[in-house]
Structure 1
Amino acid sequence: MSESNLAKNTLIYAIGNIGVLIINFVLVPFYTFFLTKEELGYYDFIVTTAMFIAPFATLQVEMAILRWLLDNDSKNIKKSVITNSFFILSINLLLLTALFFAFSKYFIDKYNIIILFYYVLFFLYPLFKQILRGIGKPKQYIFVEICYTSLFLILSILFIVHFKLGVKGLLISNIIALSFSILFVFFNNKIYNYIGKQYFSKSLLIKMLKYSVPMILNISSVWFMTSAIKYFIIYFNRRNFKLILRKKGIVVNTSTKVTKIQKEGDKLAVFAEGKNGEIKVTADMVLMST
């Protein structure tokens, strides 16, 4: 991949993440003004837990999607990749739902069903974004990210300020924004045409899992370094002290985003340039772990 294409890919990813950065800076003062420390702490606990569960719930299959979609021009292989991905995620989400109903009462005080819906959509959203990147639609990737963040921002203000729903309003805002984004990608790109029993490939499924599962450790290690301490704060000081940690976390998350933008461009370059599958996997694993 040429330097110009690499720069273009990096720029595309950067623009797609601008909305996330805007939410961090715009909504946090908004949160602190309209939500109590208890409410903000509870919401942060929900989001932090979602980030911890995500790599296990998805098996990082979205990374396998990107790797195989970019590496293959065959439409049948693309259909097999997407079908396999939905198969993996469907099984895992069913298992997650069962575990959630069994154990959530010990960890979650309220809004259990709403939180479950939020978790399911939270895990599905990255899969659809990676499909967009894999089938070569960067502009739509940007559009979906901007739509999601804008809709979430507007609905959050509406539900918190006007309807006084607090944390419940934030969760509902997220659910609506995520649902809209997922459905838009699904129907606008006719993803349903890529899903079918006839496209399921056990051999490809095994290859995808061998590629994606080791990445769980990479993602989990980042979570433990940046977010695990929040659970100790909950235990010793209860939720209201998490407000301070969340404000400081904005700076950390922002710097992490900037670094990740460049790495995403590098990963695309590795996918596009490599000719040997083992070389591409190894190179990408290095990028993911740095």
Structure 2
Amino acid sequence: MIDIKSKKLLKTTFIYAIGSFGSKLLNFVLLPFYSYYLTKEEYGYYDIVLTTISLLVPLVTLQLSDSIFRWLVTSEKKNKEQSFVLSNALMVILFNIMIVSLVFLIIREVVTIQYFFLIYSLLVMSSIYPVIQQVARGLSKNKLYASSGIIFSLALLLTNIIFLFALKLSIKGLLIASVLSYFISTLYLIMRLKLYNVFNVKYISFSLIKELLGYSSPLILNTMSWWLIVSANKYLVLYFLGKETLGIYSFANKFPGLLLMVNSIFILAWQESLIVNFNKADRSQFFSKVFNYLISVQFSVTAFLILISEMMIKYLVSNSFYSSWKYMPILYLGVAFSTLSSFYGAIYLGSKDTKGSLKTSLFGGIINISVGLILIKPFGLYGVAISNLISFIALFLFRGINTKKYVQLFIVKERLISLLIIIIISLSVAYLNNIFISILTILVLTVYTSINNRELLARIINKIKKRIYGVS
């Protein structure tokens, strides 16, 4: 039974990867070009715009995307029931967008913001797109979800070529490219899902709206608390160290950010698998097996990325961003603990205890800001990166303890300790900045990782063979 669940989880992850990894990989490929077409100050400004939008999105959507997915994925696939949920959730979101638009118009009269209309458009489109994606997931149309990601990637590549590289519009070009990519992908999903046939005013129910908002409301603060952990430090950097230094820190974050986005593909699949299997008798055994695999993969990949941090920056990006590599090893480790925390976070969704998710995220956010304020002046960007790592470790430990009341996870402690030792060795070697020692360590790490994860690697290889050759 567990093998069947594991295979289904791998299949779902593979489908999500097709749609999501393209855009993540594209962002990574475009990063070196950004370093040549944008100054450090310009990149810092662009990143702070994206950071601010990521804070505002949950206020625009009221996190109803999570309610939509939670209700649809457990529905009995009756069209009327699905239309009932979608009509109520989408009506609330559209009404809230109207309110946000009015607020933005008022702000425009008071404050002068560069590229105001583009920033507003990006906020609206980056709010709507993930909501419609969650509709596709909730309706089990995972291949449609994946294809929308591919379309987004192609649109982003084409618009970047036109507006940034050809027309050289700098930040304005990046904003136009992002808005158009979201718009094209959203329109594609709406047409394929035929959402215009789903919405019905007759289905509006204030009792259901109250129920949906009751589930999603704690997740608004939870997402914003998560933002405190992931992104709030950028405002500290901007205030204490300036735009140029923010550009360096933002760039340093992009490489670990790629790992975080790739991990999010698995987390999406894991949330679905956990919710479906949450009430099964063997859930603890299944969840523990997946968690131990995740720990092994996360720390193995993190150790490898730590070792190649300097080489990646040296050979891929402009010299003006070279110093960003120094902070990447710490940020990579933070991403690993972030992903493990997200694994625990899915348990709150399965148990419908979104308040538990909120409390733990808020706890991590407070630690991040507090430690960041203490360390930023004496240690600069190192202090910011360390505060980020400490907050994710604290969140991981707190959630691990807090979720025991729902699911008991059994961690293979010997493997965890050995992996943490490897991380410490990798950090030490990385900061020695000796390419020969780094390459030797990478070779040893590759052998160890292959042996340690041989069962998982065999499953993945067999899965790929089946997809490509139709053989087992």
| Alignment TM-score, normalising by the size of structure 2 | 0.57
Name which one, 1 or 2, has greater alpha-carbon Rg.
2
* Residue 13 in structure 1 maps to residue 82 in structure 2: no
Q: Secondary structure at the match of 1:213?
A: helix
1:90-169 equivalences under 5 Å are 90-104=94-108, 109-169=113-173
* Residue 282 in structure 1 maps to residue 351 in structure 2: yes
% same residue: 31
CA distance in structure 1 between the aligned counterparts of 2:238 and 2:212, rounded to whole angstroms:
37
Q: Secondary structure at the match of 1:214?
A: helix
- Which residue in the other structure is 2:417 paired with? none
- Which residue in the other structure is 2:27 paired with? 24
1:164-179 equivalences under 5 Å are 164-179=168-183
- Which residue in the other structure is 1:203 paired with? 207
CA distance in structure 2 between the aligned counterparts of 1:128 and 1:84, rounded to whole angstroms:
14
1:83–1:283 Cα change, 3 Å: closer
> 1:197: how far off?
0.3
- Which residue in the other structure is 1:188 paired with? 192
CA distance in structure 1 between the aligned counterparts of 2:349 and 2:118, rounded to whole angstroms:
40
- Which residue in the other structure is 2:223 paired with? 219
CA distance in structure 2 between the aligned counterparts of 1:271 and 1:222, rounded to whole angstroms:
21
- Which residue in the other structure is 1:67 paired with? 70
Q: Is the 8 A contact 1:6 1:265 kept in 2?
A: yes
Which one of 227, 232, 238 corresponds to residue 234 of structure 1? Answer: 238
Which one of 248, 252, 260 corresponds to residue 256 of structure 2? Answer: 252
Structure 1 portions without partners, runs of 5+ = none
CA distance in structure 1 between the aligned counterparts of 2:140 and 2:211, rounded to whole angstroms:
22
CA distance in structure 1 between the aligned counterparts of 2:246 and 2:39, rounded to whole angstroms:
11
- Which residue in the other structure is 2:325 paired with? none
> 1:33: how far off?
0.4
CA distance in structure 2 between the aligned counterparts of 1:56 and 1:183, rounded to whole angstroms:
22
Which one of 44, 48, 56 corresponds to residue 45 of structure 1? Answer: 48
CA distance in structure 2 between the aligned counterparts of 1:188 and 1:59, rounded to whole angstroms:
25
CA distance in structure 1 between the aligned counterparts of 2:226 and 2:279, rounded to whole angstroms:
30
Report the more deviating stretch, 99-108 or 164-173.
Answer: 99-108
CA distance in structure 1 between the aligned counterparts of 2:349 and 2:126, rounded to whole angstroms:
28
CA distance in structure 1 between the aligned counterparts of 2:357 and 2:149, rounded to whole angstroms:
23
CA distance in structure 1 between the aligned counterparts of 2:234 and 2:64, rounded to whole angstroms:
27
CA distance in structure 1 between the aligned counterparts of 2:189 and 2:252, rounded to whole angstroms:
34
CA distance in structure 2 between the aligned counterparts of 1:23 and 1:224, rounded to whole angstroms:
26
Q: Is the 8 A contact 1:211 1:281 kept in 2?
A: no
* Residue 57 in structure 1 maps to residue 126 in structure 2: no
Q: Is the 8 A contact 2:25 2:258 kept in 1?
A: no
1:49–1:30 Cα change, 3 Å: same
> 1:270: how far off?
3.0
1:209–1:252 Cα change, 3 Å: same
- Which residue in the other structure is 2:269 paired with? 265
> 1:95: how far off?
1.8
CA distance in structure 2 between the aligned counterparts of 1:96 and 1:250, rounded to whole angstroms:
29
CA distance in structure 2 between the aligned counterparts of 1:243 and 1:23, rounded to whole angstroms:
20
Structure 2 portions without partners, runs of 5+ = 281-347, 362-398, 400-472
Q: Is the 8 A contact 1:159 1:170 kept in 2?
A: yes
> 1:287: how far off?
7.9
What letter matches 1:211 in structure 2? Y
Q: Is the 8 A contact 2:60 2:93 kept in 1?
A: yes
What letter matches 2:21 in structure 1? I
| Alignment TM-score, normalising by the size of structure 1 | 0.90
CA distance in structure 2 between the aligned counterparts of 1:235 and 1:107, rounded to whole angstroms:
19
1:4–1:108 Cα change, 3 Å: farther
Report the more deviating stretch, 265-274 or 206-215.
Answer: 265-274
Report the more deviating stretch, 154-163 or 121-130.
Answer: 154-163
CA distance in structure 1 between the aligned counterparts of 2:174 and 2:253, rounded to whole angstroms:
19
Q: Is the 8 A contact 2:40 2:248 kept in 1?
A: no
Q: Is the 8 A contact 2:122 2:179 kept in 1?
A: yes
CA distance in structure 1 between the aligned counterparts of 2:71 and 2:10, rounded to whole angstroms:
22
Q: Is the 8 A contact 1:10 1:262 kept in 2?
A: yes
Report the more deviating stretch, 191-200 or 235-244.
Answer: 235-244
CA distance in structure 2 between the aligned counterparts of 1:231 and 1:153, rounded to whole angstroms:
29
Higher relative contact order (CA 8 A, sep 6+): 1
What letter matches 1:180 in structure 2? I
> 1:17: how far off?
2.0
**1:64-117 deviations in Å (ceiling 9; x for gaps):** 111111111221111111111211111221221122222356666311112111
Q: Is the 8 A contact 1:270 1:284 kept in 2?
A: no
